[in-house]
A = this chain, B = another copy of it.
């Protein structure tokens, strides 16, 4: 039995490790940018797909299928990103006689459509953000909607987008005037005055539920993840459990997630993403029909191996996940080759030094190594740091400790952001929502410019002046007789 990993980077490495533990043979694929990448080195077999651009390599269905054919791989795991939620790819795999490690293509399709998935959720009794199904004919309809679903509301232009024509409505008293103005604005902007109302979820958190489905029809929810720390809708830090979800709410959101998965007869690992309001009400956002980037925090806390389980399911084996129980708290940091002090500008290039943290409760899922190149062609994620400890405060202390051991030089990284987070009061108290990080970054109150210490100056001066004698046990250098080295003196550095 042989599995082809149709991906690269840390997730390819994660899947390859799971295969090795399962005794499943592995085929890696690579573009010309990745011939020397860790995910290739770790596989039993490897097939070149094409040039660096993803279109010609990791996104080429044709070349991936050819690679599977050439190596005799029976299974294809898409990872996340690239073709992971592409129903046509899943279908092409099945049609080529391969086992696609994921749900049925129909489930991918249904959940890939905003309208179709909302319809199914509605039927399954999973709450979605309430909204009017058609434009309001009069201000009265707005007030009626508000009376039914509560304020504040958001008026949106039917023909709109990009925030234009959007208007907040705080109470019934404002409904009429707001409707007039929003309608006029919409007419002016889009030539169409139609507006509709949606319930506005204020300061929402992003909470998601991990589900594992099996062809037998069994679907298990494995708790929630807190993913509110986002930069422009991109998750940066994830936790398990959520600091604001207690047992009762957990039971409710897990039940809703199972209903959501059941509505598409889900048969793999998947995630139901929810918007959680401060009052504990929650709304379906979307379902990700694949293994998530942040799956490790669930694995650590719930003691499950999602990647392994997903492959086992695809192999037709029974669930081994049982009735898992939570223990402790886990946090994941996504480490990108981006400079958080420069608007998260990507920083491709060669990794000079890479020191990974280790010890208790530290897990490194990393797709690069020292001396390797971070190509400009793909998502610049280098890997993930996952910590696990008995409770949230201990997990943050452990994260802080691990970050003090973590070193990446040669390319910029998001490590400074995480170092700032673990020292931030609001983060420590768990007081954040999906806009929190963008807000704090915009305010400039999170990333303080590093303060140079006296010891830094000494380190700089000493290093430039010749640093250390040779380490004990090593031979002295062959060069000698430098009078400067004999009695070095570097005056007036500053």
A359 adjacent to B17 (CB under 8 Å): yes
* 0/1 interface trace, chain A 353-391, chain B, CB 8 Å (1 if under): 000101111111110000001010000000000000110
Other-chain residue from B17, B36, B327 in contact with A327 (beta carbon distance below 8 A) = B327
A36 adjacent to B471 (CB under 8 Å): yes
CA A305 to CA B375, docked complex, whole Å: 40
Q: Check if A22 is an interface residue, CB within 8 A of chain B.
A: yes
A389, closest chain B residue (CB): B305
A364, closest chain B residue (CB): B358
A17 adjacent to B360 (CB under 8 Å): yes
A390 adjacent to B305 (CB under 8 Å): yes
Partner-contacting stretch, out of A230-238, A274-282, A335-343, A397-405:
A397-405
B320 adjacent to A303 (CB under 8 Å): no
Q: Which of chain B's residues have a CB closer than 8 A to the CB of A296?
A: 360
Interface centre among A299, A305, A365, A473, by most chain B C-beta atoms within 10 angstroms, is A473
B404 adjacent to A20 (CB under 8 Å): yes
A472 adjacent to B33 (CB under 8 Å): yes
CA A360 to CA B20, docked complex, whole Å: 12
CA A473 to CA B366, docked complex, whole Å: 20
Q: Report the minimum CB–CB distance from A473 to chain B (whole Å).
A: 4
B35 adjacent to A472 (CB under 8 Å): yes
Q: What number of copies of this chain does the assembly contain?
A: 2
A356 adjacent to B358 (CB under 8 Å): yes
Q: Check if A394 is an interface residue, CB within 8 A of chain B.
A: yes
A397 adjacent to B21 (CB under 8 Å): yes
Q: Which of chain B's residues have a CB closer than 8 A to the CB of A320?
A: 390
Q: Check if A481 is an interface residue, CB within 8 A of chain B.
A: no
B390 adjacent to A360 (CB under 8 Å): no
Known: A299-B360, A305-B390. A350 touches B13 (CB 8 A): no
CA A22 to CA B398, docked complex, whole Å: 9
Q: Report the minimum CB–CB distance from A356 to chain B (whole Å).
A: 7
A363 adjacent to B364 (CB under 8 Å): no
Interface residues of A in 38-85 (CB under 8 A from B): 42
Q: Check if A426 is an interface residue, CB within 8 A of chain B.
A: no
Interface centre among A35, A365, A401, by most chain B C-beta atoms within 10 angstroms, is A401
Known: A33-B472, A350-B473, A472-B373. A305 touches B394 (CB 8 A): yes
Other-chain residue from B33, B299, B363, B398 in contact with A21 (beta carbon distance below 8 A) = B398
CA A447 to CA B390, docked complex, whole Å: 40
A321, closest chain B residue (CB): B390
A23, closest chain B residue (CB): B397
A365 adjacent to B373 (CB under 8 Å): no
A364 adjacent to B373 (CB under 8 Å): no
Known: A21-B397, A304-B390, A397-B21. A362 touches B363 (CB 8 A): yes
Other-chain residue from B35, B327, B471 in contact with A303 (beta carbon distance below 8 A) = B327
Q: Which of chain B's residues have a CB closer than 8 A to the CB of A2?
A: none
B299 adjacent to A401 (CB under 8 Å): no
A13, closest chain B residue (CB): B359
CA A296 to CA B303, docked complex, whole Å: 17
Interface centre among A320, A361, A405, by most chain B C-beta atoms within 10 angstroms, is A361
Q: Which of chain B's residues have a CB closer than 8 A to the CB of A42?
A: 405
Q: Which of chain B's residues have a CB closer than 8 A to the CB of A363?
A: 358-362
* 0/1 interface trace, chain A 427-471, chain B, CB 8 Å (1 if under): 000000000000000000000000000000000000000000001
Q: Which of chain B's residues have a CB closer than 8 A to the CB of A472?
A: 32-33, 35-36, 373
CA A447 to CA B262, docked complex, whole Å: 52
Q: Which of chain B's residues have a CB closer than 8 A to the CB of A303?
A: 327-328, 390
Give A contacts to B, CB under 8 Å.
Answer: 13-14, 17, 20-23, 32-33, 35-36, 42, 296, 299, 303-305, 307-308, 320, 325, 327-328, 350, 356, 358-366, 373, 375, 389-390, 394, 397-398, 400-401, 404-405, 471-474
A–B Cβ pairs within 8 angstroms, 17 of them: A13-B359, A21-B394, A21-B397, A23-B397, A32-B472, A35-B471, A36-B472, A42-B405, A299-B360, A304-B390, A305-B389, A320-B390, A350-B474, A358-B364, A359-B365, A360-B365, A373-B473
The 7 closest A-B pairs by CB, nearest first: A373-B473, A358-B364, A21-B397, A20-B401, A17-B359, A21-B401, A303-B327
Q: With A22-B397, A325-B327 given, can you name 19 additional A-B contacts, CB distance below 8 Å? A: A17-B359, A20-B404, A21-B398, A21-B400, A23-B397, A33-B472, A33-B473, A303-B390, A304-B390, A307-B360, A350-B473, A350-B474, A358-B363, A359-B363, A360-B363, A361-B363, A373-B472, A373-B474, A375-B473
